[in-house]
Amino acid sequence: MIDIENGSAILIDKPYTWTSFQVVKKIKYKISHHYGKKIKIGHAGTLDPLATGLLIICVGKYTKRIEEYQSQEKEYSGSFTLGATTPSFDLEHPIDQSYPTEHITEENIIAAAKQFIGKQDQIPPLFSAKWVDGKRAYKLARENSQEIVLKPKEIEIKEFEISSIEFPIVNFRIVCSKGTYIRSIARDFGACLNSGAYLSSLCRTRIGEFCLKDAAKIEEIENLFQ
């Protein structure tokens, strides 16, 4: 049950196409309406609309723990599609360029994944929530109002497992540090194979010790406050 007095962390399985903000808004409305008062609610780590999986919603006093949860390592499963790129590095935008893939073997793919293990500097996607001159990068990218330069940030990829290959789709599991963009890994993975790649599916399966298998559906939370 949700503890309003002492605070709670709610584990949600974020639906496909929902923004993290929409999840917070929905739960905040349900809880505030039920108790008849405003309740502080926030999420610990954004998921892109086209990603699914674990989202931690902090309620009441637990909003003070958002940074604590955000700083923990993350685990994702998903798929890259080889041979093409998109401006957003995922399916939010249509393919803008195609690349050859005839030279890519399973051995190449497995070897490429190993090259990503460890600490490295990663350039975030242009279509991201990074701040640039007082605006979100994705807003500037959509406006095409200026040339956008995003600074690289140090991240760490602790595990990068190729779980299966159904060419041109490569299924993976990644364990990484806070601030890692899996879409950027897709971009760099394609380049590492002398081709292109984009993120075609993504699910966050773990944040620290919190696991997706323990998360609730939005409908289950709604039913608590009927």
24: phi > 0 → left, psi -120 to 50 → alpha, else beta; which? alpha
37: phi > 0 → left, psi -120 to 50 → alpha, else beta; which? beta
Active-site choice (48, 133, 188, 214):
48
Rounded to the nearest 10 degrees, how much is the dihedral formed by the CA atoms of 158, 160, 161, 166?
160
Q: What are phi and psi of 37, to 5 degrees?
A: -155, 160
Q: Please name the residue that has the structure tokens 């709610």.
A: 10
83: phi > 0 → left, psi -120 to 50 → alpha, else beta; which? left
Respond yes or no: is residue 48 known to be catalytic: yes
Q: Which residues are catalytic?
A: 48
